[in-house]
Structure 1
Amino acid sequence: MSRLPTGNDAQWLGMPLRLTGGYIALFLFMAGDGFELAFLSKYIVSLGFSPASASLVIAVYGLVAALAAWGTGVVAEILTPQKTMKIGLGLWLIFHVLFLWLGLHQANYPLMIFCYAIRGIAYPLFCYGFLMMIIHQVKKEQVAAASGWFWAAYSLGIGVIGSALPGLMIPWIGEFKMLWVSLLFVALGGGVALVTLRNVTTPESLAGRSHKERLRELPMALTLLSRNRNIALSFVVRIINQLAVFGFSVVMPFQFVRVGFTLSQWLQTWAVFFASTIVFNIFWGVLAERLGLLRIIRWFGCVGCAVACLAFYHVPLAMGPNMLAAVGCALALGFFMSAFVPMTALFPALEPHHKGAAISVYNLAAGLSNFVGPAIATLALPGLGVQGVVYIYSALYLGGAVLTLFIGRQLERVAQIRRVTQR
């Protein structure tokens, strides 16, 4: 079995210890990036815009982020993950300031959409640039566990701190100043990444390739969906993966307030959801190597989320502003949502000779989930209401479970090849 490029295999519960600083940086960056997630739509409405207009701002952001994420895997292989993360950091800091000052402060809707959309290019470059670093720096059999830690740090930042801290600070400083606090977190996270990851070596698989050879990988990110049927099916399932995360952040603040919760209580409930995924991401990442990637994705991810989405809507509606019941629903959603973690290992396993392109497609799907979730809410809210949006999400999760049945044969062939190679 081949060793890591640096010869350092130290890890703890699947986390590569020499990338610890990167996980910390990711947590800080995503905390700053996620502060507005649970209240931005409501804040835009408070400026005089309609809920549909607020949803459109977030949907456009998600679309741009998806397109940026599409190329991140290949860009990271061309420029190296470190340089990709630096570009993402710079873009985020610049356009976040412009979004606040020219967009929100001036209540200028066109500039609001434009600046927030351009900022959407930044977070995939930083976030998924680090994911590419992980893919190249750990052994194949450790990718699921290492990516579990990636998503744990992601959730700790964007969900736990990103929701809990605004819930505590907004009553004192207000939404707008809270958005300035996010600038400090992102800058700190970027600084940690620049310091701790500067000596991470370029993998041998990239170091021995010229820029011209790396550029040849770029078209693969565009054609892989049409060439690899199993990648295409996995792509759809990955979009479905986080529909509830990005969709619920748009529709549930209104729903929770309508049944009697305060905004602070909603933010605390949403923080519990993300907090639970910290543990569950690691849990499913480690367990996936034993039980099988697709089995976990199908039954616990897809089917589990279909049920949890319905519970997240109906239980608070039936029981009113009962925090214990709301927290229970949040924990259930976090448990099942985390079961999609093995998808990070699934994509490169299905296209082992073009990992950068495979991760680019994975990133595109993740970004499209950011767009499709709010887009469904924008289109369905006027006619179907929150209940209709929730039922659409639940149906799509069940559809994802069906799609996984058609991916299994190819994955089993890949597993057989691995077993033969390791003998």
Structure 2
Amino acid sequence: MKQTDILSQRTSIADKLGIPTPLFWGFVGLLFFMIGDGVEAGYLAPYLEEQGISGRDTALLFTIYGVTVSISSWVSGPLSDLWGPKRVMWIGLGIWAVFEVAFLSMGVATNSYPIMLAAYTMRGFGYPLFTYGFLVWIAAATPRHQLGSAAGWFWFAFSGGLPTLGSLFASFAIPVIGEMMTFWSSLVLVLFGGLLALLMTREPTGSKRLAEPGTPASTIFFSSVSILWREPKTFIAMIVRIIDTASEYAFLVIMPAFFTKVIGFSLSQWLQLLSIIFLANILVNLVSGMMADRLGHRSVVAIGGGVGAAITVLLFYYVPLMFPGNFAIAAAMGALYGATVAAFVPLSGLMPQICPKEKAAALSALGLGAGASTWVGPAVVTWFESWHGIEGIIWIFSGLYLVSALLTITLTISPEARRYMDEAAARGDIAEELAAAEH
């Protein structure tokens, strides 16, 4: 079989799966990149504490890292507008690799907390530039009819690597090569995935500036902020995105003690339960994107995500209390919770349609929401745990999810936006749009 025949066959399979064919290797590379980024997720904190770093200093390390992740998540959009998504991805890969080497060789290896803090903080700028730069590339190069599926595949690769497969890789690697070499193996995985995505993906849109020629950089960056009030729906979507995963980060704080001390699980069982939650999450990441292309983005987010999660967070708390020690029932409730949280994925496909002229800026709002959720969730715990304990936190998140469903209903696509997309397709700016219309 000729190479061109093989390529066309693979292309056909990719299209049927909802993957934009020109970006196929980008998705594969993203998965390996995030596996590498997720290797340390399950054991970096206990490793540092074993080396004499206090729990408070470890928490500070992760908190400041979260701040740089939030900043980088926001600037990935305007930088992609300014320089093109592919260059932003190269910068993100370079930052991650350079500061990981510094973190391990000069920080962890010498047990120098100041160097660890500085290097890990700077490394926080790396993965959002790579991943969200690719998300902007997807939004810019994917035809409208495939945006939901493409967003689903993006989050499938993202969360499939971090923390799911990354932690699984670490669990097998540590007994064989040790903890320190496992840290170094994460660098190999990140470089492999990053280079695979950047060298094998030759779709032309990602290599060029997305903003109009002559637009000053200050205008591009200001637009990524001002869009929140110029296009209020982007602000609403940001709030919905914050609510989406805030509960996950809150549960990482309060649920280990709940399931080990109240429900009676061992630490190993809790970790297995957590893996099941994220497994369900990554599978529905993909399914929800495909469903959005058929049923509508707002419907999937509002009903499957908002209303669904409002119910499942309650089930995840109350049902295990009714059946203490029953792992199978707790796992089923956890899987339902993880699935409903994943139903928010179509937001990434909806935003480029709401603001088709400023796709990168609109996605920056979602990136800012995603980054903010990493500290909003724990903040809810800090502020309200003394109110009614874990039960009160559960009801707060249930209410927030219902609010997100109501907010999602307002995320309609204006006639002007539809007309702009139709005109772009008619001009041939998106060739795939025409092919889909003819089909």
User: What TM-score, normalized by structure 2, do the two folds share?
Assistant: 0.82
CA contact (8 A) 2:152 2:288 kept: yes
Could you tell me which residue of structure 2 aligns to residue 73 of structure 1?
77
- Residue segments in structure 1 that go unaligned for 5+ positions in a row: 1-7
CA distance 1:36–1:303, change in 2 (3 Å): farther
- Residue segments in structure 2 that go unaligned for 5+ positions in a row: 1-10, 427-436
Counterpart among 215, 234, 242 of residue 239 in structure 1: 242
2: CA distance, partners of 1:228 / 1:400:
18
* Cα displacement (A) at 1:284: 1.2
CA contact (8 A) 1:99 1:116 kept: yes
Matches within 5 A, 1:108-127: 108-127=112-131
Deviations 1:222-269 (A, max 9, x none): 211121211111111111111133333344344444344444433333
Deviations 1:175-204 (A, max 9, x none): 55543332222122112123212x221369
CA contact (8 A) 1:37 1:249 kept: no
CA contact (8 A) 1:78 1:215 kept: no
CA distance 1:183–1:390, change in 2 (3 Å): farther
2: CA distance, partners of 1:175 / 1:307:
40
SS at match of 1:341: coil
CA contact (8 A) 1:29 1:189 kept: yes
Counterpart among 176, 183, 192 of residue 187 in structure 2: 183
Could you tell me which residue of structure 1 aligns to residue 413 of structure 2?
411
SS at match of 2:124: helix
CA distance 1:387–1:253, change in 2 (3 Å): same
Which shows bigger deviation, 302-311 or 332-341?
Answer: 302-311
Could you tell me which residue of structure 1 aligns to residue 160 of structure 2?
156
CA distance 1:391–1:63, change in 2 (3 Å): farther
Q: How many residues align?
A: 413
Could you tell me which residue of structure 1 aligns to residue 406 of structure 2?
402
Could you tell me which residue of structure 1 aligns to residue 17 of structure 2?
13
Could you tell me which residue of structure 2 aligns to residue 147 of structure 1?
151
AA at the equivalent of 1:229: P
Higher relative contact order (CA 8 A, sep 6+): 1
CA contact (8 A) 1:145 1:285 kept: yes
CA contact (8 A) 1:55 1:374 kept: no
Matches within 5 A, 1:83-98: 83-98=87-102
Could you tell me which residue of structure 1 aligns to residue 220 of structure 2?
217
Quote the RMSD (CA, aligned, Å).
3.3
* Cα displacement (A) at 1:49: 5.9
Deviations 1:33-82 (A, max 9, x none): 12333444454555556656544432322221111111101211222222
Counterpart among 212, 227, 231 of residue 230 in structure 2: 227
Could you tell me which residue of structure 1 aligns to residue 204 of structure 2?
201
Counterpart among 345, 350, 367 of residue 341 in structure 1: 345
* Cα displacement (A) at 1:157: 1.0
Matches within 5 A, 1:4-403: 11-46=15-50, 54-105=58-109, 108-170=112-174, 177-197=181-201, 199-202=202-205, 206=209, 209-210=212-213, 212=215, 216-258=219-261, 259-377=263-381, 386-403=390-407
CA contact (8 A) 1:160 1:272 kept: no
CA distance 1:194–1:290, change in 2 (3 Å): closer
CA distance 1:264–1:74, change in 2 (3 Å): same
* Cα displacement (A) at 1:331: 1.6
Which shows bigger deviation, 360-369 or 90-99?
Answer: 90-99
2: CA distance, partners of 1:178 / 1:196:
27
Look at both structures and tell me which one has the larger radius of gyration over its CA atoms. Answer: 2
2: CA distance, partners of 1:53 / 1:203:
40
Could you tell me which residue of structure 1 aligns to residue 429 of structure 2?
none
* Cα displacement (A) at 1:386: 4.8
CA contact (8 A) 1:297 1:340 kept: yes
* Cα displacement (A) at 1:160: 2.4
Which shows bigger deviation, 130-139 or 412-421?
Answer: 412-421
CA contact (8 A) 2:84 2:210 kept: no
1: CA distance, partners of 2:93 / 2:310:
35
2: CA distance, partners of 1:390 / 1:61:
27
CA contact (8 A) 2:153 2:285 kept: yes
Q: Percent identity?
A: 35
